[in-house]
Amino acid sequence: MAHTSNAQKGGAALLALVLAGAAMSGCARPTAAANAPAVNVAAVNGTPVSQGGNAPPVSTTVPFVGCAQDGQTGPKMAPSGSPKTVVLDPNVAGQLAYYASSYVGVLGPKGWYCFGTYGSSGWSLFLSPSPIRASDVEAERWNAGAGPALEVAVSSGDTSGRFNVAQAIVRAFPSHMAFARQVASDSGGPTPNFAVGPFPADQMTAKSDTVVEYTTAPNAQGLGTTFSLLTASAAPIDGVAILQGPTPDLYVLAARLPNRSLINAIMPRFEADTAATPAPSADAAPAPAAAQQSAPTPVATPVSNASSPLGVVQAFYAALGQGDGATASRLVIPQKRAGNFSAAALSSYYGRMSQPLQLLGARQTGPGTVAVRYSFVAAGGHACDGAANVQTVEAGGQTLIAGISALSGC
């Protein structure tokens, strides 16, 4: 499954910041601790870095490297792909390759190793100059994380990954505090103290309300160590944090590179790829015909109006109960039909249940919002008595599911 970040471990602590009405005092836009000017990541902490001659960028190709992965539904082979066309400074193009799992891709130093993880909370992609095993990055600490390394970590705002999303918001995205408050309100529980606002040792540049570039200083804690498995050491961590989509999801790039000038090529491409409408991944291929055939629904009350928010949500959970990921995925907005909400991922997870999901109740609680209760026993024997708030939107003349906030952790 996807690794547990430091932010996830402190998920309960998030509740304090919003239930107590915490606000990011004086932080209309993230900045460095001393209100420093925008950071040039090529010359941070007083260390000049070569810009590769400042040659004008050109369109070129870099090798594609598929990355094996492991997670919630078992190991997956590395995807195959063609060389990636990118626009780069020609002085650095020969030093880079494009690494990709089934869920996410990123430019990285050529000749490195890669490995991906995935699970209900999100997915990650790890790059290192040394081989990477599943056990290396599924542990609480990545031994290679103190040295040269790169990680892309994606947290889903629809699932338990929402705690990561909310904690990133209170650190770097003050205009999105409403989502953090909603996460805390839905979760309940104690309200211990939790720091709000930028990490003191981080230098941050807000490019927009949803994109924040950062540098976590050497031997310090910050965005780079909290939302990845990279750990504090004598070298800084460069990266970017991005909120994507209406829910939203959190994308964090954290990199400690021997040649820091490469981050100037890696980061803009990652930002552009993340801002683009997500394309269906290799996992999002239509399910076999047999899986698309109608089957008796486990929902006691038949769906009478599948165009209404209530009807769409009932149809979605009925499809999950049948293990029919193809139908369920079609009821989700197109931007979400990849990763955890792809047809193949939904079919694989819900089709292998020891006891299929059953929808126990559904009622509309607001415009486009439906509260649901359900139960299932997962393939590993874990029993879930779950509840969630499901948000729907009108898209292309259809009512579709835009986000799901699980209230019970399953």
Q: Which of 89-93, 163-167, 194-198, 362-366 has the lowest mean pLDDT?
A: 194-198
pLDDT at residue 38 is higher than 70: no
Q: Both ends of the chain: CA-CA distance in Å? A: 14
Give me the pLDDT at residue 306, please. Answer: 59
Q: What is the pLDDT of residues 327-358, one digit of tens each?
A: 999 999 888 887 788 888 898 889 888 889 99
Q: Which of 64-68, 111-115, 299-303, 365-369 has the lowest mean pLDDT?
A: 299-303
**What predicted TM-score, i.e. pTM, was given to this entire model?**
0.63
Give me the pLDDT at residue 165, please. Answer: 92
How far apart CA 135 and CA 296 sit, in angstroms, is: 41
pLDDT at residue 53 is higher than 70: no
Q: What is the mean pLDDT of residues 13-39?
A: 37
50 — pLDDT class (breaks 50, 70, 90)? very low
Side-chain half-sphere CA neighbours of 168 within 13 A:
37
SS (HEC) of the chain: CCCCCHHHHCHHHHHHHHHCCCCCCCCCCCCCCCCCCCCCCCCHHHCCCCCHHHCCCEEEEECEEECCEEECCCCECCCCCCCEEEEECHHHHCCEEEEECCCCEEEEECCCEEEEEEECCEEEEEEECCCCCHHHHCCCCCHHHHCCEEEEEEECCCCCCHHHHHHHHHHHCHHHHHHHHHHHHHHCCCCCCCCCCCCCCEEEEECCCCEEEEEECCCCCCHHHHCCCCCCCCCCEEEEEEEECCCCEEEEEEEECCCHHHHHHHHHHHHHHHHCCCCCCHHHCCCCHHHHCCCCCCCCCCCCCCCCHHHHHHHHHHHHHCCCHHHHHHCECHHHCCHHHCHHHHHHHHCCCCEEEEEEEEEEEECCEEEEEEEEECCCCCEEEEEEEEEEEEECCEEEEEEEEECCCC
Q: What is the mean pLDDT of residues 236-254?
A: 93
pLDDT at residue 301 is higher than 70: no
Give me the pLDDT at residue 385, please. Answer: 80
pLDDT at residue 41 is higher than 50: no
Pairing, β 69-71 against β 113-119: parallel
Give me the pLDDT at residue 188, please. Answer: 54
Give me the pLDDT at residue 6, please. Answer: 56
> 105 - beta bridge partners?
100
pLDDT at residue 191 is higher than 50: no
